[in-house]
Chains A and B, each alone.
Chain A
Amino acid sequence: MTTIHLEETPHLTYVLRLADSALVLSHRLSEWCGHAPMLEEDLALANIALDLLGQARLLYEHAAALEGRGRSEDDLAYLRDAPQFKNLLICELPRGDFAFTVVRQTLVSAFFHPYWQLARGSTDRTLAAIAEKAEKEVAYHLRHAGAWLVRLGDGTEESRRRTLEALDTLWPYTGELFEVDAVGEAMIEAGIAPDPASIRPVFEDTLDRLLADAELARPSAAWMQTGGLRGVHTEHLGHMLAVMQHLPRAYPGARW
């Protein structure tokens, strides 16, 4: 099935970034279904994946309405190629081990909880309404992932080693959470997006409290990865999309 090309305005690009991040992270979490270390955790990760999928659907619907060419949420999710995806890189990294998944979910939720809180005041009414629901859901994700971070960091030697490794690997991907380019500037200017600079103190405070409980320290790496917001991805996203998009592309219009 042919790849679609959207006529992007800054507003559309901005909503796509949020939608893509939610969808890609949801897919990575769903890969745990049937593989989590215990049944309760299998349910928990699938539940979090479902919340993020729900957010992605609402955001894609909004994006399709902004474009105004009659496309559906499915078109936007299934018929764009990796360079057109604008998710944060941290969301697309392979699921890794359980510690990696826990650390990633903590980092992403520690950012998005205050993000959605502030986005409730967006001048984009639809985005503000989505934020109202997403804020409550992400608060729950943060409590769950944070509790695991503490348990793993302050657990056995093995769990601590894996958590530290995950934290070191993932830390350079946190810079992108706060990146503001021309699109971001225009959105902040228009009152559509919260300024990530105002989120940083809350993010750092949340993280420092959790890391202190886990007896871990915030990594000091200064160099940060970048690219996702512009569609420059790791090699992993293409593979993930090949799996995720295979069916609707091979059988256009398939229903199930």
Chain B
Amino acid sequence: MSTVALDRLERAIEAVSAVPDPEIPVVTIADLGMVRAVRLAADGAVEVDLTPTYTGCPATRLIAEEVRAALAAAGIAEARVNLVLSPAWTTDWITPEGRAALRRYGIAPPPRRSEPETPVPCPRCGSTETEEISRFGSTPCKALWRCRTCREPFDRFKCL
């Protein structure tokens, strides 16, 4: 790959990785593990493979538009965004940085699927005296929890 092409690809990866999630703007789509690939196609266009978190997530289309906009802002007008369903997205793809950002924002990050179920610490006070209020929350990816120590409700990322 030529230096020019390599530079173009690097700019593309940087631009795409920095796109924030529209519903949880403290994490980027790269933090969430939604960006599966960024590559240069034979015709010179940049191709981005995205994996939706939930099939019906209303943010998916917006994210695809914002990826195109971010590439355009980085000087890359020729871009294609593909939605890739397989392998299916899992919360295990959320990066450690993403998990930390979620916790700071007040959302309990999901456990790794391979790990045994442990008590869910409250993202505000750290107490493990917490309980589930509802399996479903304000967006498809979250469940509603409550802390019995600080009495605050909080969102928890569903384990998928």
Contacts and interface: CB of A to CB of B under 8 A. Distances in A.
B55 A58 contact: yes
Interface residues of B, number: 21
Interface stretch (A136-144, A189-197, A222-230, A247-255): A136-144
Interface residues of A, number: 25
Interface stretch (A49-57, A162-170, A202-210): A49-57
B87 interface: yes
Q: Chain B: interface secondary structure?
A: loop
A43 B54 contact: no
Contact of A57 (B56, B86, B138, B160): B56
A128 B55 CA distance: 14
Contact of A54 (B57, B133, B134, B137): B57
B144 interface: yes
Given A40-B133, A44-B136, A128-B86, A134 B144 contact: no
Given A47-B140, A54-B54, A140-B158, A132 B135 contact: no
A212 B11 CA distance: 59
Given A132-B86, A136-B160, A40 B54 contact: no
A132 B87 CA distance: 7
B140 A50 contact: yes
Contacts of B144: 40, 43
Contacts of B135: 44, 140, 143-144
A50 B88 contact: no
A53 B55 CA distance: 8
Interface in A133-175: 133-134, 136-137, 140, 143-144
Given A58-B85, A132-B88, A51 B56 contact: yes
Between B55, B136, B144, B160, the greatest number of chain A beta carbons within 10 A of the residue's beta carbon is seen for B55
A101 B137 CA distance: 19
Contacts of A216: none
Contacts of B89: 133
A53 B88 CA distance: 17
13 contacts: A40-B134, A43-B134, A43-B136, A44-B136, A47-B140, A50-B56, A51-B140, A54-B54, A54-B56, A54-B57, A129-B88, A130-B55, A133-B52
Interface of B: 52, 54-58, 85-89, 133-138, 140, 144, 158, 160
The 7 A-B residue pairs whose C-beta atoms are closest, nearest first, are: A54-B56, A54-B55, A40-B134, A129-B86, A129-B85, A44-B136, A50-B56
Interface of A: 40-41, 43-44, 47-48, 50-55, 57-58, 128-130, 132-134, 136-137, 140, 143-144
